[in-house]
């Protein structure tokens, strides 16, 4: 064994260039995989750590039934001393009691729905770290104080020292209200927390919600994340018979678990494609490396080496190359990951999109998981061995004379070709010679062209998958809610104040509908509101619609699960299925709707649930409720012909931006603005933009891997033909002519690769575009993404793929410059004696 290892290392040292090329191919592929996987894992780890670290804690204890029903009368009694009992369990680092509820917060003319947490300011910092995120003012110290996120403070135009009015539905069903001093503003970088979470002293929350002597939950932090499951089991045993439930963060935040699952599913699709590309690069390089050594194997067999020993030697050398390349790639990947793990990848430009991913902040830090390195190592070594096995076996089956005589046949063919070529020096002759060389050795040509083909097929699939995802998201979001363009008074998109209204709306709507781009127009009254039934209240965006006109603009009426859609002139409210589940409401139940009017007064109305819709989007099905437009006018204090917005549907979505610009010029004098769907749905737009950044990062890695693979294969191809090129030089071919011939070969091989890649990629996209990519196993996660269903249909958009396809083609041709230059500088005598 030692002797064979020496021989293998000796062979690798003899041809350092070939060894270096192979190592480079493996190392770049492995490094790209390590970094991409670390980036994806970093997003998941950050989401989990931030949600548990800032708000939730690692686990909670509720009275049984509270987590499912969310009714505040299902409470933990203070006299039970659960916090002290929990602290005695091994693995529990700290505990803290809380009272958590929803409130409508008001300051001056501004209002906003908040999730309010009553906390013990001495114990809460031991479980979560929100107190360490204060950027203005201070943390809680006295009674009737409140701290809130920077986005909530901005929306309410408050700062430390201001007074805030909170209106809530108390645990006994009554309406509670009180004034609180804003003493601090925190910033976590997570929009869901910074925009909608507030904390106040525990005693103040108990008084506000009529909750004296009771808690909604006891939160706890465990000593290590790997101990969570064991600690939950221990607490369940410890508290058995106490009518309480112990829930770890996966049970508390199933949407987070599903989002991680969705992210992993998409990541595995992408990683699989990258694996295929990396594997193709390794296979091409190894195949060319083994095929180049035919004469060497012939000499070994002539000297008496058994064919089995040749196979063994090739596999041993391949294992060494794959192992060394893997180690170099791990070093490269860990170096990239270490740098960005400390500096972070800045996604602050896409913060609205990141709001759809709970717990994700603007800076992402890649994270290494050891198991990923093991998987990559196993795949890389296995692929390399499989790539080497077949050509090694075929080489060992050749007779020594066949292996050593291959070069003489090549030289004779080159002499004949050269005689034809040197008879005419026109450019066409070199192209003919290059084309003839491509078809003379189909095996080598297929291996070289396949690097480009695999790269292009991977590009087409990844782009089609991303575009199909984005197109579905945009189409469904605009058809379910926003339409293509909306007209409103300036500022209404920020605070939804009833004071911001359009007068003479019928005249304006008629004018808008007469425009050639507009298919339909519908009026709306949009208000921020709280909807409540006995024991539960939640904030919603209340939309008053003229049902007949609305159905010409959006398609929500087609998503009804129970009951009927809003009917003109009739009372009743239509809510999403998720909202119905959250407040435990059924068809026919009455909900109390509370809104703040333009003058600051509160207005309320009781409306029976006449319909429940389901779009499949958790955000949409929770946050929007619909009533008749006249009922909404009465609640908001608007006059008969006044509306908040006019929504337009266009015949061509792509014209929305141009129409919005044109309307803004004509409506500016009336104080009105027009917004296209991109301005109306910034979350959707930024999700698309952020995902495109992710894909561009991934595709950049794929591009580098493909480029290195193509270059390596081309260099190997030229190295294999060194004797042939030496004969050409010896027969009088000039260096420039040789370069031109090799570049022509690269061009033809790139064309063949692009054609093959286009066919394979297009067929794959067509098949998946018909059947769809089934993500139903993680459908719960898709509810957090607006407009996305559980089946994605890839779609090819020419505008998106022509540039990367062109770049890949140019890369496939230009990488031949180096081997062509090297070939032109060969010494003819040494080249003929090569190998």
Neighbour tally for 222: CB within 10 Å: 24
Q: How confident is the model at residue 4 (pLDDT cuts 50, 70, 90)?
A: low
Q: Is the pLDDT of residue 424 over 50?
A: no
DSSP track, 570-624: ---EEEEHHHHHHTT--TT-EEEEEEE-TTS-EEEEEEEEEEEE--S-HHHHHHE
Q: How confident is the model at residue 423 (pLDDT cuts 50, 70, 90)?
A: very low
Q: How confident is the model at residue 354 (pLDDT cuts 50, 70, 90)?
A: low
pLDDT (0 to 100) of residue 415: 45
- Residue 675: both structure tokens together: 């917004």
pLDDT (0 to 100) of residue 192: 77
Helix axes 370-397, 254-291, angle to 10 degrees: 30
CA dist 406 and 411 (Å) reads 9
Give residues with Cβ within 8 angstroms of 1, minimum separation 6. Answer: none
Q: What is the mean pLDDT of residues 716-739?
A: 74
Which of 200-214, 264-278, 610-624: highest mean pLDDT? Answer: 200-214
CA dist 491 and 399 (Å) reads 84
Q: Is the pLDDT of residue 125 over 60?
A: yes
Q: Is the pLDDT of residue 411 over 50?
A: no
pLDDT (0 to 100) of residue 294: 61
**Sign of dihedral through CA atoms 659, 662, 667, 671?**
positive
Q: Is the pLDDT of residue 346 over 60?
A: yes
Strands annotated E in 497-547: 518-533, 536-545
Neighbour tally for 325: CB within 10 Å: 26
CA dist 279 and 376 (Å) reads 11
Residue-wise pLDDT for 94-111, tens only, equals 999 999 988 989 988 788
Mean pLDDT of all residues belonging to the chain:
82
CA dist 669 and 646 (Å) reads 17
**Sign of dihedral through CA atoms 695, 698, 701, 702?**
negative
Q: Is the pLDDT of residue 56 over 80?
A: yes
Neighbour tally for 672: CB within 10 Å: 19
Contact 149, 188 (CB under 8 A): yes
pLDDT (0 to 100) of residue 417: 45
Q: How confident is the model at residue 535 (pLDDT cuts 50, 70, 90)?
A: low
CA dist 587 and 129 (Å) reads 41
Q: What is the mean pLDDT of residues 129-145?
A: 92
Q: Is the pLDDT of residue 613 over 80?
A: yes
Where is average pLDDT lowest: 23-27, 145-149, 387-391, 664-668? 387-391
Q: What is the mean pLDDT of residues 329-357?
A: 78
pLDDT (0 to 100) of residue 416: 47
Q: Is the pLDDT of residue 405 over 70?
A: no
pLDDT (0 to 100) of residue 285: 65
Share of the chain above pLDDT 90, in %: 30
Give which of 782, 42, 36, 47 is closest to 469, Cα–Cα.
Answer: 782
Residue-wise pLDDT for 536-570, tens only, equals 778 899 999 999 999 999 988 889 999 999 999 89
pLDDT (0 to 100) of residue 419: 43
Where is average pLDDT lowest: 200-214, 667-681, 708-722? 708-722
- Residue 64: both structure tokens together: 């049984």
pLDDT (0 to 100) of residue 406: 47
Share of the chain above pLDDT 70, in %: 83
Q: What is the mean pLDDT of residues 654-667?
A: 92
Q: How confident is the model at residue 663 (pLDDT cuts 50, 70, 90)?
A: very high
For the full predicted model, state whether its pTM sits above 0.75.
no
Q: Is the pLDDT of residue 731 over 80?
A: no
Q: What is the mean pLDDT of residues 761-774?
A: 90
Residue-wise pLDDT for 512-525, tens only, equals 999 999 999 999 99
pLDDT (0 to 100) of residue 833: 62
Q: What is the mean pLDDT of residues 254-278?
A: 73
CA dist 329 and 381 (Å) reads 13
CA dist 743 and 798 (Å) reads 28
Q: What is the mean pLDDT of residues 206-216?
A: 91
Q: Domain map of the chain by residue range?
A: 2-45+257-470+685-833, 92-227, 491-670
Q: What is the mean pLDDT of residues 785-812?
A: 79
Q: How confident is the model at residue 414 (pLDDT cuts 50, 70, 90)?
A: very low
Q: Is the pLDDT of residue 161 over 90?
A: yes
Q: How confident is the model at residue 421 (pLDDT cuts 50, 70, 90)?
A: very low
Q: Is the pLDDT of residue 291 over 70?
A: no
Phi, psi of 537 (to 5 degrees): -140, 150
CA dist 71 and 236 (Å) reads 22
CA dist 354 and 17 (Å) reads 46
CA dist 356 and 681 (Å) reads 12
Counting Cβ atoms within 10 Å, is residue 471 exposed (0-12), middle (13-18) or buried (19+)?
middle
Q: How confident is the model at residue 649 (pLDDT cuts 50, 70, 90)?
A: very high
């Amino acid at each position: 064994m030692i002797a064979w290892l020496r021989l293998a290392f000796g062979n690798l040292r003899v041809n350092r260039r070939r060894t270096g090329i192979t190592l480079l191919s493996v190392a770049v592929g492995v490094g790209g995989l390590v970094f991409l996987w670390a980036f994806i894992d970093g997003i998941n780890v950050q989401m989990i750590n931030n949600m548990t670290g800032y708000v939730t804690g690692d686990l909670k204890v509720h009275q049984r039934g509270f987590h499912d029903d969310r009714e505040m009368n299902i409470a933990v009694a203070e006299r039970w001393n659960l916090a002290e009992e929990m602290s005695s369990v091994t693995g529990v680092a700290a505990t803290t009691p809380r009272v958590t509820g929803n409130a409508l917060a008001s300051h001056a003319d501004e209002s906003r729905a908040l999730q309010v947490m009553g906390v013990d300011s001495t114990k809460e910092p031991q479980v979560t770290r929100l107190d360490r995120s204060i950027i203005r003012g201070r943390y809680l110290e006295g009674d009737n104080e409140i701290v809130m996120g920077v986005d909530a403070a901005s929306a309410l135009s408050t700062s430390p020292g201001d007074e805030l009015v909170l209106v809530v539905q108390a645990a006994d069903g009554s309406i509670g209200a009180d004034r609180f001093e804003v003493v601090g503003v925190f910033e976590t970088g997570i929009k869901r927390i910074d925009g909608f979470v507030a904390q106040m002293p525990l005693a103040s929350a108990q008084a506000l919600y009529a909750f004296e002597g009771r808690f909604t939950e006891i939160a706890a932090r465990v000593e290590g994340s790997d101990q969570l499951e064991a600690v939950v089991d221990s607490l369940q045993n410890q508290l058995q018979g106490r009518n309480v439930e112990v829930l770890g963060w996966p049970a508390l935040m199933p949407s987070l678990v599903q989002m991680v699952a969705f992210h992993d599913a998409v990541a595995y699709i992408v990683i699989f494609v990258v694996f295929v590309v990396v594997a193709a690069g390794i296979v091409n390089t190894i195949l060319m490396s083994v095929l180049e050594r035919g004469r060497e194997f012939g000499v070994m067999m002539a000297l008496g080496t058994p064919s089995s020993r040749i196979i063994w030697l090739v596999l041993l050398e391949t294992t060494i190359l794959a192992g060394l390349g893997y180690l170099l790639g791990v070093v490269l990947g860990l170096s990239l990951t270490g740098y960005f793990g400390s500096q972070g990848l800045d996604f602050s430009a896409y913060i609205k999109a990141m709001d759809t991913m709970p717990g994700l902040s603007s800076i992402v830090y890649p994270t290494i998981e050891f198991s990923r390195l093991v998987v990559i190592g196993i795949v890389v070594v296995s692929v390399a061995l499989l790539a080497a096995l077949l050509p090694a076996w075929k080489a060992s089956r050749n007779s020594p004379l066949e292996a050593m005589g291959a070069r003489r046949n090549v030289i004779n063919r080159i002499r004949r070709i050269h005689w034809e070529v040197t008879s005419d020096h026109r450019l066409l002759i070199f192209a003919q010679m290059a084309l003839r060389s491509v078809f003379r050795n189909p095996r080598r040509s297929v291996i070289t062209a396949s690097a480009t083909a695999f790269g292009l097929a991977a590009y087409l699939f990844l782009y089609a998958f991303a575009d199909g995802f984005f197109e579905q998201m945009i189409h469904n979001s605009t058809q379910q809610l926003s339409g293509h363009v909306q007209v409103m008074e300036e500022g209404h998109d920020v605070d939804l104040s009833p004071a911001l209204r359009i007068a003479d709306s019928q005249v304006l709507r008629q004018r808008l509908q007469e425009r050639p781009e507009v298919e339909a127009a519908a009026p709306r009254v949009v208000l921020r509101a709280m909807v409540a039934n006995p024991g539960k209240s939640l904030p919603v965006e209340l939309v008053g619609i003229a049902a007949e006109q609305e159905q010409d603009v959006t398609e929500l009426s087609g998503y009804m699960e129970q009951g009927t859609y809003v009917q003109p002139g009739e009372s009743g409210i239509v809510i999403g299925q998720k909202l119905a589940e959250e407040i435990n409401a059924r068809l026919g139940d009455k909900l109390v709707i509370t809104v703040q009017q333009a003058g600051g007064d509160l207005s309320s109305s009781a409306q029976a649930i006449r319909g429940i819709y389901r779009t499949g989007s958790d955000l949409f099905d929770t946050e929007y409720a619909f009533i008749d437009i006249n009922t909404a006018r009465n609640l908001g204090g608007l006059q008969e012909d006044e509306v908040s917005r006019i929504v337009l549907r266009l015949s061509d979505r792509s014209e929305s931006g141009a129409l919005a610009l044109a309307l803004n010029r004509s409506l500016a004098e009336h104080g009105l603005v027009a917004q296209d769907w991109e301005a109306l749905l910034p979350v959707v737009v930024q999700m698309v933009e952020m995902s495109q950044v992710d894909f561009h990062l991934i595709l950049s890695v794929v591009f580098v891997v493909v480029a290195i693979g193509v270059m390596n294969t081309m260099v190997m191809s030229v190295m294999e033909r060194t004797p042939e090129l030496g004969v050409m030089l010896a027969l009088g071919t000039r260096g420039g002519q040789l370069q031109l011939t090799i570049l022509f070969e690269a061009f033809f091989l790139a064309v063949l690769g692009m054609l093959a890649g286009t066919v394979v990629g297009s067929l794959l996209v067509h098949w998946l575009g018909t059947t769809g990519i089934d993500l139903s196993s993680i459908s719960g996660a898709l509810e957090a993404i607006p407009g996305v269903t559980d089946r994605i249909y890839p779609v090819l958009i020419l505008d998106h793929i022509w540039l990367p396809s062109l770049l890949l083609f140019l890369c496939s041709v230009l990488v031949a410059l180096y081997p062509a230059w090297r070939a032109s500088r060969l010494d003819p005598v040494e080249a003929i004696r090569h190998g």
